Amino acid sequence: MTSLGIEKLHDMLKSGEITSEEIVKESIKKSHEIQEKCNAFVTIMDNASCEKITDDLLSGIPYGIKDNYSTKDILSTGSSNTLKDYVPFFDATAVANLKKHGAVAVNKTALDEFGMGGTGTTAHTGVIRNPWDTKRMCAGSSSGSAAAVAAGVYPYALGSDTGDSIRKPAAFCGIVGYKPTYGMISRYGLFPFASSLDTCGVLTRSVKDAAIVVDAMKGIDKNDQTSWDSSNIHLYDSIDGNVKGKKLFYIKEIVDIKNYPDASNELKRHLEIFNEALNKLRDIGVSIEEVSFDQELLKAIPSVYVCLSCAEATSNMSNLTGIIFGPRGYGDSFEKLAKDHRTKGFSPLIKRRFVIGSYILQKENQERYFVNAQRVRRLIVDKMKQLFASYDALILPVSAGVAPYIDGSKDELTSNNTAILEEHLQIGNFGGFPSITIPDGFIDGLPVGINITGNCKMDENVLNIAYALESTMDYKGMIAGCPNE
C-alpha cells in the first residue's frame, strides 16, 4: 500500500478499502526493513498512531520528516553528535501545518550533518545507502528522505534544500524533488544552515504528490519574516498538463559535450537522455531554445556557494556550544567547554566549513570574499531574471551521471572538470527560484534526473511543465529496483 501515491491511497482510505492503522503499520514495518538495507533513519516512531480520514488528501497517510526539522517531544538531531540527545519542545511550522491536515509522521530521516554535505556519508548514525544499489550514495543532504521514498516506505518525506539537497538526491534515487520559491514554506523550526539559501521542500514519487504536500506545508508565518502569503497559489488544482506555447531554455555551456573533452560514456549517455526529453516536450507544443551564459559566472557558482554558505553556517551554528543544549564538553572555562564540545561533536567536513566561514567573516577578509561573493550572486540572479522575462523556465540535466559509489568518495569542498554540470542547481538557491527534479531515464539500470527551474512565485507554472514532461515518460511512481524502461 505504501508504494502507492497520495491520491490513490486517499481514495482507498475514503472507501474503507484500507484503514489508516493498516497503512501506518505497514510503513513502520517497511521502515525497519529499509533501515537494515539503507540506514535511512535516525528515529522510527513505532508508536505512531493513525488519524481520522477526512476529505483532506493527506489525512491518515504516513510520511517521513528530515531530522533537521524540529519535532515536539521527538528526537531531532540534525544527524549530528552535538545534538544526539536533543528533544525539542515545539514543532517546525511546516510539520505543524501537516499535522493540521491529518498527516501521520512515522520516522525522522537521516541526513548529512546539519545538511552540510552532498553524499549522505556524514550523518552521525553512519552512511546512508541508495536503495537502487546499496554500494552507491543517495547524494545529500536529504539522503534518508530520498532513500525511504524511493523504497516505498511512504508516498513522501520532507527535505530541505540549500544548494541541491532535495533535487540531487531525488535524481539519484529516481524520484521527484521539489524546492518551492524561497519563503513559500516557513523555515521556523528548520535547523538553519545558510539562512539566505535554505528552503523547505518535499520528495515524492510524482509531481502531483509534490504539489499536494507543499499546498499543505506552505503559508505565511509570523515566526519567519521571510515567509510570504501564497494563499492565491493553488499548486495541485493548477496542474492540467497544458503546456502548449510554453517557452523553455537550456544553457549551452552546461550541456555542450564539447566542454567536456574527457567525457565518459555515462556523461554522453546522460546528455543524450536529456535531449530525448527535450524532444518529448517539443512534441507536446513546448518551444526550447539554447542560450549562452557568461562562462566565468558559471565557473564561479561553486565558489560563491562555498563562501556564502560557510559564512552563514558559521554564524548560525555559533550557538552550538554544549552549554545551552547538547552534550556538555569538558573544561574549567566557557571557552574550554565549548571547544571540547565542538571538537568532539562535529565531523571533519563541518569543521572545515566553519574554518572557511570564520576566515571569510574576518573583518580584513569580508570585502574580498563575502561581499564579492554577494556581488557575483547578484550578477547570476540578474541574468536569470533577464532570461525569465523571455522564457517560462530553465531546463537542464541534474548531474553528470548516476549516483557515484560510496567507497572512495569524498565529501569535500572541491571541484572537478564537470563542476558546472554538478553544481548548477545552486542557481535556484541564489535567486530563491522554484525548482523541481523528476526522473528522466536510466543508465545501466540506475536512474538519472532532469530539472526545471522558473521565476520566483511561478511555482504553478514550473510544476505544470514538470507534470507534462512526466506524463510523456513511464517513470512516475517507481519503487527502487523496478525501473520502468
Beta-ladder partners of 138: none
* Strand 199-204 relative to strand 176-179, pairing: antiparallel
Q: What share of the chain is helix, strand, coil (3-state, %, to 5)?
A: 40, 15, 45
Active site residue: 59, 165, 186, 227, which one?
A: 165
Taking the C-alpha atoms of residue 72 and residue 162, their distance in angstroms, rounded to an integer, is 24
Kindly report the number of other CB atoms within 10 A of residue 119's CB atom.
23
Active site residue: 66, 179, 457, 476, which one?
A: 66
Taking the C-alpha atoms of residue 58 and residue 97, their distance in angstroms, rounded to an integer, is 11
Cell numbers describing residue 107: 520516522
* Strand 156-161 relative to strand 104-109, pairing: unpaired
Indicate left, alpha or beta for 152 from its phi (over 0: left) and psi (-120 to 50: alpha).
left
Q: What single-letter amino acid sits at 281?
A: L
Taking the C-alpha atoms of residue 157 and residue 142, their distance in angstroms, rounded to an integer, is 9
- State CA 469 to chain mean position distance: 20
* Strand 62-66 relative to strand 199-204, pairing: unpaired
Cell numbers describing residue 456: 520566483
Taking the C-alpha atoms of residue 379 and residue 110, their distance in angstroms, rounded to an integer, is 35
Active site residue: 20, 59, 70, 141, which one?
A: 141
Question: At 378, phi and psi to the nearest 5?
Answer: -65, -40
Q: Is 141 a catalytic residue?
A: yes
Q: Which residue has the cell 572555562?
A: 333
Question: At 231, phi and psi to the nearest 5?
Answer: -65, -20
CB-count burial class (<10 Å; 0-12, 13-18, 19+) for 1? buried
Are 178 and 463 in contact by the 8 Å Cβ rule? The answer is: yes
Taking the C-alpha atoms of residue 51 and residue 60, their distance in angstroms, rounded to an integer, is 5
Q: Which residue has the cell 536569470?
A: 384
Are 192 and 316 in contact by the 8 Å Cβ rule? The answer is: yes
In the chain, the N- to C-terminal Cα span, in Å, equals 23
Taking the C-alpha atoms of residue 389 and residue 412, their distance in angstroms, rounded to an integer, is 36
Cell numbers describing residue 141: 543532504
Residues known to be catalytic: 66, 141, 165
